[in-house]
Amino acid sequence: MNNTNNTNDTNNINNGNNRGTGPADRGRSGSIRGSLTLLLCAIIWGSGFIGQKVGLSDLPPFALNGARHLLSAVILIPAGFFLMKKNGYTDKDKYGSDEIRRRWQNLIKGSIICGIFLALGTNMQQAGLMWISAGESGFITALYVIIVPFFGTFLGLKIKKRIWGCAAASIIGFGLLCLKDQMHISAGVWLTLGCAFAFSVEMLAIDRFVTPRNAVALSAGQMLVAALVSVAVSFFLESPSTGQLVSGLPVILYLALVPTTLGYTLQIIGQGHTEPALASMILSLESVFAAIFGVLFLGESMTARELAGCAIIFGSIVVAQLPDKRPDKRTDRKEVQ
């Protein structure tokens, strides 16, 4: 999940559908365009794992993530303010000063909470890539789709029986992918698994604070917080040199502009024309493309056992996101939360 780019209505969390859509015209031609847009988004996010892996040769994890998130925040903050003003989200004449103050307080609170877990997730993911391949990282990270419903129980959400089965299958897949000789699991695997847990909490926090009209602003806010956290830790633990920052600039620009800013934009556009369940499945292909790009550009390879593990994990993710036969009754998200 390169991501850092999921600030949207996370509907149907209990079914594993952690990426939702707002109301939109979903005619056949629009649905095809939306699906293709989301497929391009998944490809771009998959390529982000390659950028992260390559970036390790120039910059330590916290410095790289601090720089990419800061640049993304600089790009998205003006867009977030513009869109909130354009759609009337901060219109005092319409909603009153007290209501607007409450909206700003919730936006700031959401940015801080989401940003902290975004920083935690992306930095553990980045550090994990020092030990594991881009493909392994992609599939382990994708386990957040299975983890989210279990964390949702703390919010009073029930876990469907299907999710239990998917969780059991994903554990088997995880074992096939990650258990090496003498049943050893590397530090990179543990870090990346921790990343999946952090992203799961971020998903639930996003679901709590996002509305259709503050999505870009919340995304910008969480990236700014993630940047500040990463830069602060980097200052004390890594102290990157100016030369490292200059040599890592191409990767920083790519990660900030393509997987983050462009990927996020494509996600928003594509999901406006695609049903939530289908959108989630298409975006799950991010892990597959991460593995493909790892083979093509980094010369990575997997054994038959590891490929079987990837297949089981991916199958579990897809099944977890299948819609129920009888759709749940949902209430529309309140604009102010």
Residues contacting 234, CB < 8 A, separation 6+: 60, 62, 63, 66, 240
pLDDT of residue 2: 62
The answer to whether the pTM exceeds 0.75 is yes
**Is residue 87 scored above 50 in pLDDT?**
yes
pLDDT of residue 108: 97
Instruction: For residue 56, give both structure tokens.
Output: 């390790």
pLDDT of residue 34: 87
Rounded to whole angstroms, the Cα distance separating 160 from 168 reads 13
Confidence of residue 28 (pLDDT cuts 50, 70, 90): low
Residue 308 near residue 178, CB atoms below 8 Å: no
Question: Rounded mean pLDDT of 246-250?
Answer: 94
Query: 93 to each of 79, 90, 98, 99, 227, how far by Cα in Å?
Result: 22, 9, 11, 11, 34
Mean pLDDT, the chain, as a whole number?
86
Question: Rounded mean pLDDT of 167-182?
Answer: 89
The percent of residues in the chain predicted with pLDDT above 90, rounded, is: 65
**Range list of H helices, the chain:** 28-55, 61-86, 92-95, 97-128, 134-141, 144-152, 161-178, 187-209, 215-237, 242-247, 249-255, 263-271, 276-284, 286-298, 304-320
**Is residue 9 scored above 60 in pLDDT?**
no
Residue 98 CB coordination number (10 Å): 9
